[in-house]
Amino acid sequence: MSLKPPRLKDDCFALPPGVDWTPVDEALTRLRDRLQCVVPFEERDVIAADGMILAKDVIAKRSNPPAANSAVDGYGFAHASTGRGDQVLPLIKGRAAAGVPFTGKVPMGSAVRILTGALLPDGVDTIVLDEDTTTDGTQIAFEGDGMRSGANARRAGEDVEAGDVALTAGTRLGSPQLALLAATGVTRVTVYRPLRVAVLSTGDEIVAPGATENPARTYDANRPMLLSLVESWQMEPVNLGHVIDGADILRRELDEGAEKADVILTSGGASAGDEDHVSRLLGDTGTRTDWRIALKPGRPLALGMWKGVPVFGLPGNPVAALVCTMIFARPAFAVLGGEGWKDPQAFMVPAGFEKRKKPGRREYLRARIGENGQAEVFKSEGSGRISGLAWADGLVEIEDGERHIQPGDMVRYLPFSGFR
Whole-number pLDDT of residue 275 = 45
Q: Looking at the domain assignment, is residue 305 inside a domain? A: yes
Q: In the predicted model, is pLDDT for residue 19 greater than 70?
A: no
Identify the domain containing residue 395 by its residue range. 347-419
Question: From the centroid of its chain, how far is CA 154?
Answer: 31
pLDDT at 195: 97
Asked if residue 291 has pLDDT above 90, the reply is no
Instruction: Looking at the structure, tell me whether residues 282 and 174 fall in a common domain.
Output: no
Q: What is the pLDDT of residue 384?
A: 78
Q: How many distinct structural domains can be found in the chain?
A: 4
Q: Are residues 356 and 331 in the same domain?
A: no
Distances (CA, A) of 232 to 99, 236, 283, 362, 415: 41, 9, 32, 26, 14
Q: Pairing between strand 347-350 and 362-369?
A: unpaired
* CATH assignment at residue 400: 2.40.340.10
- Does residue 273 fall inside a structural domain? yes
Residue 1, domain member (yes or no): no
Q: Quick check: 277 and 247 in contact, CB under 8 A? A: yes
Do 179 and 317 belong to one domain? no
pTM, rounded to two decimals: 0.87
Contact criterion met (CB below 8 Å) for 228 and 162: no
Report the percentage of the chain scoring pLDDT > 70.
95
In a domain, 320, yes or no: yes
pLDDT digits (tens, 9 = 90+) for 214-246: 888 888 899 999 999 999 999 999 999 998 777
Return the pLDDT at 211: 83
Instruction: Let me know if residue 6 belongs to a domain.
Output: no
Residues 55 and 178 in one domain: yes
Gap between the Cα atoms of 377 and 388, Å rounded = 9
Q: Indicate if 52 and 184 belong to the same structural domain.
A: yes
- Count Cβ atoms below 10 Å from residue 41 Cβ, excluding itself: 22
What's the distance, CA 230 to chain centroid? 12
Q: Are 402 and 415 part of one and the same domain?
A: yes
Are 315 and 208 within one domain? yes
User: For position 274, what pLDDT does the model report?
Assistant: 41
DSSP per position, 24-88: HHHHHHHHHHH----S-EEEEEGGG-TT-EESS-EE-SS-BSSS-EESSSEEEE-GGG--SSEEE
In a domain, 15, yes or no: no
Q: Are residues 51 and 96 in the same domain?
A: no
Residues 203 and 279 in one domain: yes
Q: Give pLDDT tens digits for 241-266.
A: 998 777 788 889 999 999 999 999 99
pLDDT at site 2: 66
- Picking from 336, 363, 391, the residue at the C-terminal end of a domain is 336
Q: What is the pLDDT of residues 345-380, one digit of tens each?
A: 999 999 999 999 999 899 999 999 999 999 999 998
Please give the pLDDT value at position 1. Answer: 57
Residue 60 lies in a domain: yes
Same domain as 147, residue 76: yes
We report the CATH number of the domain holding residue 188 as: 3.90.105.10
Which of 336, 366, 382 is the last residue in one of the domains?
Answer: 336
Average pLDDT, the chain: 91
pLDDT tens, position by position, 104-163:
999 999 999 999 999 999 999 999 999 999 999 999 999 999 899 999 999 999 999 999
- Per-residue confidence (pLDDT) for residue 273, from 0 to 100: 44
- Burial bucket for residue 200 (CB in 10 Å: 0-12, 13-18, 19+): buried
Bridge partners, residue 396, by sequence? 365, 413
| Best CA proximity match to 195, nearest among 310, 337, 309, 325 | 337
Please tell me whether residues 294 and 207 are part of one structural domain.
Answer: yes
Same domain, 188 and 275: no
> Which among 103, 125, 154 is the end of a domain?
154
What pLDDT score does 18 carry?
Answer: 63
Is the pLDDT confidence value at 276 over 50? yes
Q: What is the mean pLDDT of residues 50-75?
A: 97
